[in-house]
Structure formats: C-alpha cells, structure tokens
Amino acid sequence: MAKLIVLTVLSLFLFSCNNSECQTQQEKSSENQAAACPAPEPEPEPVPEPLPDEGEEVPHEALIFDAKVDLFNFERLDEDKVLKAIEIIKTVIATKEFRDQVIGYTYQGKKTFVDNKGFSNQQIYQMLLDGKEDLRPEIDHEMDLELELYYSWTSTVGYTTANSLRIFMNTKFFDNYSPAQVAGNVFHEWIHKLGFTHDSSYSVSRDSSVPYAIGYIMRDLGRKYE
C-alpha cells in the first residue's frame, strides 16, 4: 500500500513537470515566432502630386485663336497696319507670357481685375479664348470684328456700343499708333463685346479694369512682334 501511494505521488509530480516544461516550450516558441515575424510597419502617407504651374502650358484654344474682320473706311496703308495689329493679337494670345500675365494680374495685392463681373482671372482668360461675344454667343475661339475709322478732335481713342459689333477707331490716334498700340486698342474695345465695362472718367482703378489692363498687356507684349 505504501508503494502504491509513493508511485501515485511520483506520477503526479512527473505530470506536473511535463506540463510546465511544455508550457515553457510553447511560450519560447511564441517568442521565437514573434521575433521572426515583426509587426508590419505602417504604410507611408501618400505624397500629393505637385499642382501644375499656371505658366507651364498654353491651352490649345490659344493656339487656334483667330479673328474675322470686316473693315470700313480704311485706305490701303491703314488696312496694312490694322491687319498687322490683328496678327500681333493672335501671336500674343498664343504665348505663355500673355497667359501668365492675365492669370497672375493683381490689384491692391490680390489676383483680380477691377470691374470683373465676379469672374476670376482664370475665368476671364478662358472667356478671351472662347471668343463668345454678347451679340454672337457661341464659342468659336475668334474675335468677330467690324472696324471703322473716323476722325474726331476729342481725346477718345476709340469706342463701341453694346448693340453693335462695330468698333470705331479715331484716326487722330490711329495714324500715329504703332501696330502694337493698335492691337492694344482693338483688343480693349473687343473685350467690351464680352460684356466688360469700365468707368467713363479716368481713375487709377480704371487702369486695372478688364478692358484697360488686358489691353495694356496686349500692347506691351505685342511690341516684340512688330
């Protein structure tokens, strides 16, 4: 009987040791697996693509921009000058410089034109390329022009009216203007056909209106193409 009790106690002791050893081996095995398979590193945050530079590309519409011109009261030399001015306009519009100067134009530290009808510089640039006059409201990427010479002793370089495509150009100034100056004046008056206006009397802010400011840009850039 005493031997039976001793054998029973010995069996229990061996079973307990085996369980403890097994548990220790399982824990070591788990530790080895953890060491062999580290937790995955978090994926890096995606890097946003840089925004395209406004001046990097010229839209296709700028490259195909054209003009349909009817002339009235023009003599041969006057016709040559105004047609040269039209070619300057088309050339300037196709340039990166024109795009950048219109889109980047600032007034009092902000990218904006005076009397812009609520449109951004980018929208105004696109309106120029669309060529959608108020009286011919289709997008055709061209200026529809009726140009007429007249003479007046006044200080008016040219003018137009809202109910006509006709643009009147004063020979008092036209005769002495270079083709680039004529280009600036024609473009100024044509911008009125897109619906943009300015103050009738001079002010500093008027020079930053859409017709005046972009007309000046056209004149200044056009000088290199005379």
pLDDT in tens, 82-96: 999 999 999 999 999
pLDDT tens by residue, 110-168: 999 999 999 999 999 999 999 999 999 999 999 999 999 999 999 999 999 999 999 99
The type of residue at 77 is L
What pTM does this model have?
Answer: 0.75
Specify if 152 maps to a domain. Answer: yes
**Does residue 138 belong to any structural domain of this protein?**
yes
pLDDT at 23 over 90: no
- Under 8 Å between Cβ of 193 and 133: yes
Residue 195, in any domain of the structure: yes
Taking alpha carbons only, the member of 157, 164, 162, 206 closest to residue 182 is 157
> Is residue 70 pLDDT above 80, yes or no?
yes
User: 200: pLDDT confidence band, cut at 50, 70 and 90?
Assistant: confident
Where do runs of H (alpha helix) occur along 37-120?
60-64, 76-93, 96-103
- Who wins on pLDDT, 69 or 40? 69
Q: What is the number of structural domains in the chain?
A: 1
Place of tokens 């088309």: 90
What residue numbers bound the domain in which 152 lies?
60-225
Which of 222, 226, 225, 194 shows the shortest CA–CA distance to 98?
A: 222
Q: Is residue 22 part of a domain?
A: no
Pair 88, 180: CB distance under 8 Å = yes
Alpha-carbon gap, residue 186 to 177, rounded angstroms: 12
Residue 52, in any domain of the structure: no
Q: CA nearest 139: which of 217, 64, 213?
A: 64
